[in-house]
Amino acid sequence: MLAKKLVTAQKRGETRALCLGLGMVACSMMMYFFIGITIVPFYTNSVWTTETVCKVLKANIKDKVFCPNSEGSENEEIFPYPCLQVWVNLTASGQEVMLYQTEDTLERNPKCSYVPDKLENSKEVKARIETIASNFKKYQTFPCYYDPGGTQTNVILSRLYPSKGLLFAFLWPTLMFTGGCLIIVLVKISQYVSVLSAWQ
């Protein structure tokens, strides 16, 4: 009677462990799919792939411009902010080009090097832009990214999804997939050993 209960409990534990392993594998596959349709296209479509050194030529704050939100649909969500323009000397080609913060900055407003998030306090936005401009004037040389193919003549300060970021995004689903497969393998080994012991 006791042996029968132990076998039943063992089978229940194996079933739960097997369900856990299969669930982890399924979740990791969903995460792979989500990363593949969101992050990977941004990474592959970015033409600013080569890192070089940029030297600041001038960093000026122009008059206020209007920037729509990410959707850019309603007028009430358009807010003014000082336009920071940073021109740099591209070491790789020696050209004078405009610097943008990321790929998204160029899409949101090609006239400005930095586009702030929507903030209700305009003084805070102005202070932040002035701080960024002073930092560019203070640190004249810094790494940047340019398009080696020449389709984009401008440069960006940092990529939205660099290679390290992409690898980090794939790290967690890979660990989950590996853990799920390991659990399934251990359950199968345990079942095989139990059957082998019973047969002997």
Looking at the structure of the chain, the number of domains it has is 2
Do 167 and 155 lie in a common domain? no
Q: Note the pLDDT tens digit of each residue in 58-81.
A: 888 887 666 554 444 444 446 678
Q: Domain of residue 191: give its range.
A: 162-199
Do 173 and 151 lie in a common domain? no
Q: b/e per residue, 116-139, with b = 16+ CB within 10 A?
A: beeeeeeeebeebbeebbeebeee
Inside any domain, residue 13: no
Cα–Cα distance for residue pair 97/107, rounded to 1 Å: 17
Do 125 and 179 lie in a common domain? no
Do 98 and 195 lie in a common domain? no
Q: Note the pLDDT tens digit of each residue in 115-170.
A: 887 666 778 888 888 899 888 888 889 999 988 887 888 899 998 888 788 888 89
pTM for the structure as a whole? 0.68
Do 118 and 96 lie in a common domain? yes
Cβ proximity of 94 and 88 under 8 Å: no
Q: If residue 44 lies in a helix (H) or strand (E), which one and from where to where?
A: helix 2-45
